[in-house]
Amino acid sequence: MPLSIHPQVDRGAKAAAANFTGGNLSCHCADRKVTVAIKGQAQFNHVCGCTKCWKPAGSLFSQVAATASTNVSVTANADKLKVVDDKALIQRYACAQCGVHMHGRVNRPGHPLHGFDFFHTELSTDAGWAPPGFAAFVSSIIESGADPERMGDVRARLRELGLEPYDCLSPGLMDFIATAVAKSSNVPKRKMAEVSG
């Protein structure tokens, strides 16, 4: 039997819908649900093994996507939201009643991810979100109790699901962050030497 990574990817992820305009996220409360509206398509959707992200019960990984903070608005029961860790880079807003993380905002000016919010597409019943494209912070699942002896199996399962495993973020997202840091530091681009035949 294959390892369970996350309920949204265990049987294969669904493709993104063309011209998807966004949707609504809801917490798990039976009444007075916290509702968050997301405009537009999810960016950088991935499964994450870090110990900070909210995971459904029994999941090895969370599933997290990003969007511009201007695309996120709390539309119902904002009074129930509390910041999980006010010292963390990502200020994760969770429902104080059910514990579900609704969105996480990067409010640190000057940080490459300032102006982004992170969210869990699985909290939406709207079909069409971009599927996860990679797995981040894979080794960190050991910190949550995963058996270190099974990490080869975990990485093999992720690849089977089309999710390249990384122990950081994906190369494209790391390049984005490094580019922002270089620009803010006024590092000039330099020509890279090519090897001649």
What's the start-to-end Cα distance of the chain, in Å? 50
pLDDT at 173: 86
Residue 81 C-alpha from the chain's centroid: 19
Q: 97: helix, coil or strand?
A: coil
Q: Is 168 annotated as a binding residue?
A: no
Residue 20 burial (C-beta neighbours within 10 Å; 0-12, 13-18, 19+): middle
**What are the residue numbers of the active site?**
48, 50, 53
pLDDT at 183: 84
Residues of the chain with pLDDT under 70: 191-193, 197
Residue pair 13/131 in contact (Cβ under 8 Å)? The answer is yes
pLDDT at 174: 86
Residue pair 27/33 in contact (Cβ under 8 Å)? The answer is yes
How far apart CA 108 and CA 89 sit, in angstroms, is 7
Q: Taking the complete model, does pTM exceed 0.75, yes or no?
A: yes
**Tokens 């190369």 belong to residue:** 171
Domains along the chain with CATH numbers? 22-175 (3.90.1590.10)
pLDDT at 192: 62
